[in-house]
């Protein structure tokens, strides 16, 4: 629940802030008549995200085990790619997001008409919705405890809506730059765990060599798949299932926070380590570069502690 709650909170708050900017700007322009059209686009984006989640959840039962694992691994890789892109996109475009959204509204009101306003609302929320759906679905598959994972996500989304509403009303102040910086770092770790789980799926499906294929090195004494250095690169890197029960609470917490599983293959360990080292170092470098030159206040994305007012000031 903790991992999915934080994901739901971050992604939901990001979407809530985007919608808040759009609503505040339309109100500031005196175009409340355009709000229903924008809300139609937001609603369509939510329906699309829910539809994708329903298809992923209920659409794979007629497939073979290998096909399900192959689809699950591929979609998990897609989720990792989307999350990674989003993390760095927020670092790069966050400062000018408000101006970009308001410019899109201006163009829609001037030349776009009805469908342009619907598209503004749809596109502004659809990316976060699809990204959240894929990531949560991958984590639910990894944890094997759908009720708790989904409950955590719903609580996170509900909290994001409430916080976004309170910010828009000026009832609460939140340092959004720090919030997104810390949750972005958390998402790097979560994405590394999803990547490791994706590789396990692909190995179980036979798409990648591993302990479930003929490429696995065997222990000459027992005939089982080797564990440790003797199993490199297509066997088990370690197996501590006797000390940490795979279905236990500790294993669930470790997998949700750092992507650790009681039994992991060498490909999983290598992929997890490389992702943390490469993406994590680039993320930290991006944070440091943002602190170096002080951005202009007019270009900042709601990154200070000033609340989002009904007039759109942050």
With contact defined as beta carbons under 8 Å apart, do 152 and 8 qualify?
Answer: yes
Residues forming a β-bridge with 218: 225
Tokens 């080797």 sit on residue: 226
pLDDT attached to residue 304: 44
| Per-domain residue ranges of the chain | 2-299
**Amino acid 3: pLDDT:** 73
The conformational region for residue 259 under phi > 0 = left, psi -120 to 50 = alpha, else beta, is left
Sign of the C-alpha dihedral computed for residues 128, 131, 137 and 141 taken in this order: negative
Contact by Cβ (8 Å): 57, 137: yes
pLDDT of residue 312: 39
Is the N-terminal amide bond of 233 cis, ω within 30° of 0? yes
pLDDT given for residue 277 in this prediction: 96
Q: What phi, psi does 16 have (nearest 5°)? A: -65, -40
pLDDT given for residue 170 in this prediction = 64
pLDDT for 26: 80
In tens digits, what is the pLDDT along the chain, a chain of 314 residues?
777 787 788 888 888 877 887 887 788 878 787 788 888 888 898 899 888 888 877 765 566 778 878 888 888 898 889 888 888 877 776 666 667 777 777 777 777 666 777 887 888 788 788 888 888 787 777 666 567 777 888 898 888 888 877 776 665 666 767 777 887 888 898 889 889 988 998 999 889 999 988 888 998 888 889 999 999 989 999 999 989 888 777 887 787 778 888 999 999 999 999 999 999 999 998 888 766 555 544 444 444 444 444 333 33
Do the beta carbons of residue 142 and residue 193 sit within 8 Å? Answer: yes
Helix (H, G, I), strand (E, B) or coil at 218: strand
Would you state the structure tokens that stand for residue 123, as one six-digit string?
């596109």
What is the reported pLDDT for 29? 79
Do residues 283 and 188 touch, judged by C-beta distance below 8 A?
yes
User: What's the pTM?
Assistant: 0.74
Predicted confidence at residue 305, as pLDDT, reads: 40
Contacts of 265 (CB under 8 A, 6+ apart): 199, 200, 203, 210, 211, 234, 235, 236, 237
Reference 140, options 213, 58, 238, 205; nearest CA is 58
């Amino acid at each position: 629940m903790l991992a999915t709650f934080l994901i739901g909170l971050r992604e939901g708050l990001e979407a809530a802030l985007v919608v808040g900017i759009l609503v505040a700007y339309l109100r500031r322009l005196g175009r409340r008549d355009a709000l229903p059209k924008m809300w139609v686009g937001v609603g369509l984006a939510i329906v699309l995200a829910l539809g994708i989640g329903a298809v992923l959840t209920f659409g794979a039962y007629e497939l073979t085990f290998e096909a399900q694992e192959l689809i699950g691994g591929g979609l998990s890789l897609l989720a990792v790619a989307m999350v990674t892109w989003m993390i760095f996109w927020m670092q790069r475009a966050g400062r000018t997001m408000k101006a970009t959204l308001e410019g899109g509204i201006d163009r829609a009101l001037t030349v776009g008409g009805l469908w342009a306003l619907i598209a503004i609302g749809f596109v502004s929320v659809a990316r976060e919705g699809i990204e959240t759906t894929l990531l949560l679905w991958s984590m639910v598959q990894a944890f094997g405890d759908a009720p708790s994972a989904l409950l955590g996500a719903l609580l996170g989304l509900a909290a994001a809506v409430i916080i976004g509403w309170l910010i828009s009303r000026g009832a609460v102040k939140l340092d959004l730059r720090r919030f997104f910086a810390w949750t972005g770092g958390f998402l790097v770790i979560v994405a590394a765990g999803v990547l490791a789980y994706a590789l396990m799926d692909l190995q179980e499906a036979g798409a990648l060599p591993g302990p479930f294929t003929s490429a696995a090195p065997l222990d000459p004494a027992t005939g089982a798949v080797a564990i440790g250095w003797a199993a490199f690169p297509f066997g088990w890197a370690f197996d501590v299932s006797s000390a940490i029960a795979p279905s236990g609470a500790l294993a669930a917490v470790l997998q949700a926070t750092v992507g650790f599983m009681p039994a992991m293959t060498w490909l999983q360990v290598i992929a997890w380590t490389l992702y943390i080292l490469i993406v994590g170092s680039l993320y930290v470098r991006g944070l440091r570069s943002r602190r170096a030159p002080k951005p202009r206040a007019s270009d900042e994305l709601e990154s200070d502690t000033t609340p989002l007012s009904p007039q759109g000031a942050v």
